[in-house]
Amino acid sequence: MNTLHQPVLLVLGALLILLAWRRWAPVSYWYALVFPRKAIWLRWSWRHVASGCSLTKKRHRWWFTTVPGLVASTGVVRVRRRFQRVAVDTKPWMGLPRPIRYGFRLTFHLLDGQVPDDYAKVCERLAHAWRVEAVRVVGSRPGRVTLQGVTVDPLAQTTPAVPPPEPREGWRADDLLRPIVGVLETGAAWRMDFRLIPHWMNAGATQSGKSNLINALLVALAPQPIALIGFDLKGGVELAAYDPRLTALATTRAECVSLLADLIAVMGARMLACRRYNVRDIWQLPDDVRPIPAVVLVDELAELYLTADKSEKDEVTRTATALLRIAQLGRAFGIHLVLSGQRIGSDLGPGVTALRAQVGGRVCHRVNDPETAVMTLGDLDPDALVAARSIAPELPGVAVITDSDGRWYRARSGYVSTTTAEQAACAYANITPSWSQLAASGLGHELPATDPTPELAA
The string of pLDDT tens digits covering residues 362-410 is 999 998 878 788 888 876 777 788 888 888 888 889 999 988 777 788 8
Q: Has residue 150 got a pLDDT over 80?
A: yes
- What is residue 440's three-state secondary structure? strand
Name the residue ranges covered by the structural domains of the chain: 38-60+83-152, 173-439
pLDDT(197) > 80: yes
**pLDDT reported for residue 407:** 79
pLDDT in tens, 72-90: 545 555 555 555 554 445 7
Q: DSSP for 232-273, please give it.
A: ETTTSTTTGGGGGG-SEEE-SHHHHHHHHHHHHHHHHHHHHH
Calpha distance 285→293 (Å, rounded):
13
pLDDT of 169 reads 56
**Could you count the other beta carbons within 10 Å of the beta carbon of residue 94?**
17
Please give the Cα distance from 399 to 429 (Å, whole number).
30
DSSP state of 314: H
pLDDT band for position 170 (50/70/90)? low
> SS3 of 186, please?
coil
pLDDT of residue 442: 52
What is the rounded CA–CA span in Å between residue 137 and residue 16? 37
Per-residue pLDDT, 14: 81
Percentage of the chain lying above the pLDDT 70 cut:
84
What contacts 24+ positions apart, CB below 8 Å, involve 47-54? 47/91, 49/126, 49/129, 49/130, 50/91, 50/92, 51/89, 51/91, 52/125, 52/129, 53/122, 53/125, 53/126, 53/129, 54/122
CATH number of 38-60+83-152: 3.30.980
Contact 197, 372 (CB under 8 A): no
Q: What is the pLDDT of residue 389?
A: 83
User: pTM of this prediction?
Assistant: 0.79
Distance from C-alpha of 325 to C-alpha of 348, rounded to nearest angstrom: 18
Say if domain 173-439 classifies as CATH 3.30.1490.100: no
Quote the mean pLDDT of the chain: 83
Q: What is the pLDDT of residue 449?
A: 41
Measured in whole angstroms, how far is the alpha carbon of residue 192 from the centre of its chain? 7
